[in-house]
Chains A and B, each alone.
Chain A
């Protein structure tokens, strides 16, 4: 059984640019959630995808968007990057939306 994987590990972008982060869910899991974790804070929910449809969204602006593919892998896209977008972006997969979530190692995004 493979765990949750994320790519890239680290990323440096300039304010105003766009970024795409990728996540492969754990084998057998059809639900993927994305979180933003600022330094010294707990993860904040961005959105969740279930069977390729958005299944809930946290308090993030529309420039944060996502996709889920038929193999349940997922992408997080952020447009018009701001300095405050600098954070660790975590992907978590689960069997059902509210069941235990298993996290990937994260992508550390730095916006300069």
Chain B
């Protein structure tokens, strides 16, 4: 079983839709949770960084962590064509030195 599971998609939505991206994980010791956006053939760009459970909002993006279910989500409101990219979740232990990544979900927002 992989440490982090992520549905690869692809996911296609109309402009303005609310997008929900999700990851599950197996190790309850994960404490730090991140979402990255990666455009084709580019490096990942950090979108959200959260510690432990709860919600965090930044503009059109909301990150949720449910540690009891070992489940994290990223919501994108009012999606735009420029949001078309691959979204990667990542997590690390409390004192860990490596991030464990999901395989990424490919998102296309259609104008």
Measured CB to CB, the residues of A under 8 A from B are 4, 6, 33, 35, 40-45, 48, 50, 55-56, 58, 88, 90, 92, 97-106, 108
Contacts and interface: CB of A to CB of B under 8 A. Distances in A.
Select the residue from A48, A55, A103 with max chain B CB neighbours within 10 A: A103
A100 B34 contact: yes
A103 B95 CA distance: 20
Given A103-B45, A106-B43, A108-B41, A97 B97 contact: yes
B44 A43 contact: yes
A106 to B, nearest CB: 5
Contact of A103 (B32, B43, B49, B103): B43
Interface string B80-107: 0000000010101111111111111000
B18 interface: no
B17 interface: no
Contacts of A98: 32, 92-97
A90 B34 CA distance: 17
